Amino acid sequence: MQKTTELFKTALEVEIKSTLFYAKAAEATHDDNARMVFLELSNFEDGHINRIIEVAQRHNLGDQDELKRFIDQMEEDAGTTLSADESALLEKGDLNAIFKFAVNMETKSKQAYIDLAAHCDNQDFRAFCKEMIAEETKHTAQLEHERQSLQLSMDDRPPL
């Protein structure tokens, strides 16, 4: 059960950090397209957190008390969840670099679900992980598309 709990904590940590990063990125950017993408992704990632918790509880996976303490601690530490480098990246405002970092976060999140699926024998939970892997893959593609569109003039960018 300890391994399962640690894998859940990894997935939760990536989702919590992504939620916060995207919310901060939306606040920091002056680009309307990027702001919309970041707000949308922040909401999606927040939903992922709730779904992870719900599925873990429904299937009694991992140490529920430890997971609850972990989430409470992450929420308490929300102001320091982002590293100094991540905060500096947002302050600098280089959208290309921000989108690259976001793609990396989505890749980590996808890997967390791959690891969880590989470790768990519960078929319903594996199906959940596969669904989350597909969502994270879509997020990665969306972020990469936005990053590439930064090379276009504002008039040439696709509409929101």
Is 118 a residue whose pLDDT tops 90? Answer: yes
For range 52-71, the mean pLDDT:
81
Query: For residue 70, which of 10, 111, 119 has the smallest C-alpha distance?
Result: 10
For residue 129, which phi and psi values (nearest 5 degrees)?
-60, -40
pLDDT at 154: 54
| Token couple for 75 | 């929420």
For residues 128 and 51, is the Cβ–Cβ distance under 8 A? yes
Domain ranges of the chain: 2-149
19: tokens are: 């939620």
Fold of the 2-149 domain: Ferritin (1.20.1260)
Mean pLDDT, rounded, of the chain: 86
Say what the pLDDT of residue 159 is: 54
Inform me whether the pLDDT recorded for 156 exceeds 70: no
Structure tokens at 1: 């059960």
3-state percent helix, strand, coil for the chain, nearest multiple of 5: 80, 0, 20
* Cβ pair 145, 40 in contact under 8 A: no
Cα separations in angstroms, 149 against 40, 68, 126: 17, 40, 35
Q: Would you state the pLDDT for residue 160?
A: 46
The CA distance from 115 to 99, in Å, is 24
